[in-house]
Amino acid sequence: MRVFTAEPIGRGQFFINTYFQTYLDPSKRNQSLGKDHTLSLAFTLGVTRRLELSVNPVVYQDDQKHVWGPPGDLRVGLKYASPLAYRAFSTGLNLFANFPIAKTHNVAYEPYSSGKFGGGVLGLVTIDMTDAFPIVPVKAYLNFGYYDHNFSGQPFAAEDDQYLIGAGVKFPIRSIVFFTEYSGEIFANNPALRRAENSTRVTQGLKFLGPWNFIIDLIGDLGLDKPITGLVDPLNAKYRKDYADWKITLGLNYQVSGAGGSERRLTTAVRLREDKRAMQELEKIRLERESADKKMKAMQESLEVNANAVEEKPAESKPAEQKRPEEKAPEEKVPEKPPVQ
C-alpha cells in the first residue's frame, strides 16, 4: 500500500481506491483529541502502455482541534515504467507534487507536512518471480526517493527535505495475497533529529476478492520510531513530533476495465477470481486422488489377505475309494425233473 510497484497497470485501465485509517490514543498526548481518522481516495488511469496518472485527495483528516476534521492535501503523481528491464527485474520512476489545500498541516500522529507546495521523485524496482519461479510466486519491491517539501526554498538543502524509503514482498496463498512492507520518511538535512525519531513503520496486510468484484485490503501498521525524550527546542518542535504507534487501514478497491486493445492486461479482480477457481479445481483433484489412493490401498490389502489365507489352508485329502464287494454271478436254476410215474 505504501510501497509502489514499477509495473504499469496497462493502457485504458482505471482504478478507484478508498482507504480508511484509524488510530486511537487513550493518553491524549500533546493535548490532542487522541484520535486520528483519515479517509483518502485514489484514482489511477493507465494513459499509455508505460505511463499512468494518479490523483490522491484526502477527503477527511482529523486535525486534533475539532470534532470533525477538514479535508487534507491533494497529491498528483505520474509514473513511468522504464524499458530498463531484465527477466524478473523491472524499473520505473514516480514523479509527484503535493498541493497544500488542507486547513491544518503537520497534525499530530501523521507524517510531517510543511503546508507548502512541494513534490519529489521516487525510484521503483520490482522483482517478479511469478513466471521465473512458479513454485515461489513472490514479488519484491524497492523504493527510494527524495521529497522537497517546499519548491520555493533551497533545493536539496532545506532542513525539512526528506528521503523516502520502502521495501516489501507480496505472495499469494490460495486466493489471498499477503504482503509485508517497511517504509519511512527520513529527514535529510536536519541534525536536530536522531535517526530513530523519524517516521518509520512496518506494515502487514492481506488482499482478497470481495463481493461485487471489490478488492478488499486489511492492513496493520506498527510504528518503529522512538518517542521524543528530553526538552524540545521550539524551533525544532514541528520536526520532533509524536507519530502514531499503530494504525489500522481498511481499503476498498475497484478496477474498471478500459479499451486497452492488444495491450489490455488481466485485472487484479480477474486474476484473483481465476486463482480462486484454479485452487478449487486443484483441491478437488487432490481429494479425488486421495480417495483413489485409499481405494487402491484397500484393494491391495484385501488381495494380500486372500493370498495369505490360501497359502495357510492345508491341502484336503481325497477320501479313499471304497472297494465294492465282488458281485456273485447269479446261480443258474436247474429245472426239476418230473417225477417218474
pLDDT, one tens digit per residue, over 24-37 is 877 655 555 567 89
Count Cα neighbours of 67 within 13 Å in the Cβ-side half-sphere. Answer: 0
Alpha-carbon distance values, 46 to 75, 123, 137, 170 (Å): 17, 19, 25, 22
- Over residues 278-332, the pLDDT tens digits come to 677 777 788 888 888 888 888 888 887 777 776 665 555 555 555 555 555 555 5
- Over residues 37-59, the pLDDT tens digits come to 999 999 999 999 999 999 999 99
- Over residues 177-223, the pLDDT tens digits come to 999 999 999 999 988 888 888 999 999 999 999 888 899 999 999 99
pLDDT: is 291 or 248 the higher one?
248
Gap between the Cα atoms of 58 and 38, Å rounded: 7
Exposure string (b/e) for 132-164, b if CB count within 10 Å is 16 or more? eeeeebebbbbbebbbbbbeebeeeebbbbbeb
Q: Does domain 14-265 have CATH number 2.70.70.10?
A: no
* Phi, psi angles (nearest 5°) of residue 321: -75, 130
Interior angle at CA 278, CA 275 and CA 279, nearest 5? 85
Smallest CA-to-CA distance from 246 within 23, 33, 61 is with 23
End-to-end Cα separation, the chain, in angstroms: 150
Confidence (pLDDT) at 309? 72
Smallest CA-to-CA distance from 48 within 83, 11, 13 is with 11
- 264 pLDDT higher than 50: no
Count Cα neighbours of 339 within 13 Å in the Cβ-side half-sphere. Answer: 1
